[in-house]
Amino acid sequence: MAFVSSTTLEIALNLLGFVVGLVLGTFSYIGFKNTGSPTLFRLNISFFSIGIGFGVVGFGYMIESFILNYAQIDSWIQTLGIGIQTVGYFFIAFSHGIKSFFPKSRYFKSIIFPLFIIPGNSIEHIIRSISFILLVYGTIETIMSYMENRKRSTVFVAAGLGLLALGEFLGWYSIIFPKSILYFVSLSTKIVGLGALFIPISQVPLRGGIKFGGSV
């Protein structure tokens, strides 16, 4: 019963993330059609990728659990979904004009590289580490952008990316402590992060642009 309950919650959260990601992607696409902004085009790809990543996990687990009646769901579905989400995170970072994948600072490297060492370098672990780095990069660049323009919409973008980064970090940590509440907190945090991004993105079709680490 506990398995069914936790699986149902996991499916519901992933399907919610799927819907939110597609809504954000739709608004970004409308904004791109109205403005021709390459930034909004990249964000369109980003949010659709993130939403599809959630959907792969949600629908995959739903099919295996409720239709195929598997006693244990396959971990490769989760890895595939997270990998697709990471593609979306890359386009978010690329929207900031990312210059290099790894930071040059030795101090920052000393914090980042342990993420690739523990635990056991599983594919899911490595993908989550990459996602975390990309999201932290985007968060820092957005905060720096806010310091320049002081626009309120930039605060929501920074908060959204920061929550996505925190969600990926908690997801990475849940690998060390499997079957803990950390994974569900991770999913919830990422969805809240997408919700924060919805506030400025939803205004794009009305205002014709958004400050997302750079002008559009």
Q: What is the distance between the terminal CA atoms of the chain, rounded to a whole angstrom?
A: 50
Q: Which band of pLDDT confidence, cut at 50, 70 and 90, is reported for residue 36?
A: confident
Structure-block tokens of residue 4:
């069914």
Domain ranges across the chain: 2-207
For residue 195, the tally of other CB atoms under 10 A from its CB is 16
DSSP string spanning 142-186? HHHHHHHH--HHHHHHHHHHHHHHHHHHHHHHHHHSTTSTHHHHH
Whether the pLDDT of residue 176 is over 80: the answer is no
The CATH class given to the 2-207 domain equals mainly alpha
Q: Is 72 left (phi over 0), alpha (psi -120 to 50) or beta?
A: beta
Rounded Cα distance, 184 and 7, in Å: 10
Q: How confident is the model at residue 93 (pLDDT cuts 50, 70, 90)?
A: confident
Q: What is the pTM of this model?
A: 0.82
Judged against a pLDDT cut of 60, whether residue 72 lies above it is answered with yes
Q: Which position has the higher pLDDT, 106 or 192?
A: 192
